[in-house]
Amino acid sequence: MEKKEIQIRCKACSSRFSVLPFDRFAQCPQCYQEWKIKWLDSESGMIIAPVSWKEYQLKSRRIVPNG
């Protein structure tokens, strides 16, 4: 039987994308950020952290006027 895809929301770009139940990793097709997924049950997946915190935190710096 085919697994039902679940929608989750990317924490970087806020767009929704599909993942298969119990996949441990996923990449957002919109912004390409890679995430670790935590499955609470087969229908409740949530992003718990980026695959690499170091990379995510370093690239998060933006040039902000008056910032």
Partner 1 sequence: MGRIAYVDLASETVRIEEISNELRRLFLGGRGINTHLLYQMVGEETDPLGPENVLVVGAGLLTGVAGIANSRISFSAKSPETGLLGDSAMGGFFGGQLRYAGFDHLVIQGRAKKPIYLWIHDGRIEFKDATHLSQLDTLQIQERIREDLKDPKIQVACIGPAGRNGVRFACIIHGLSHAAGRTGMGGVMGSKNLWAIAARGKTALPIHDPEKLLHVFQRHYQQVTRTKGFLASSIYGTMIRLNNTRTQGYEGGLNHQFNMMEYGGEELDAEVFIDKFETKKATCFGCPTACKHMFRVPRGIYQGMECEGPEYYGCGGWGSQCGCSSWETILEAWNLCAKYGLDVGSMTAYTAWVMELYEKGIITEKDTDGLSLEWGSAEAIIGLIQQVIEKRGIGKLLAQGWIEAAKAIGRNSERYMDHVKGLSIECDDVRGHRAQALGLATATRGACHLRSRYTLEEFFLPEEATKKLTGKPIPQDAAVYDGKEWACYWTECICSIADALGVCKFMTKWLSVGLLGFEEFIESIEAVTGVKLSLEEMIEIGERIYTTERLFLTREGITRKDDIVPEKFYKPWTHGPKAGTRIEAESFEKLLDRYYELHGWDRNGIPKPESLKKLGLEKEPRL
Nearest C-alpha neighbor of 22 from the set 4, 34, 10, 9: 4
Q: Is 66 in the site for partner 1 (CB under 8 A)?
A: yes
Residue/partner pairs of 49-52 with CB below 8 Å, 24 or more apart = 51/25
The tokens of 65 are what?
Answer: 């006027």
Does position 67 interact with partner 1 (CB under 8 A)? The reply is yes
Nearer to partner 1, 3 or 52 (CB): 52
* x/- letters, 16..55, toward partner 1 (CB under 8 A): --------------------x-x-xx--x-xxxxx--xx-
**Hey, which residues does 6 pair with through a beta bridge?**
19
Contact status: 7 vs partner 1 (CB under 8 A): no
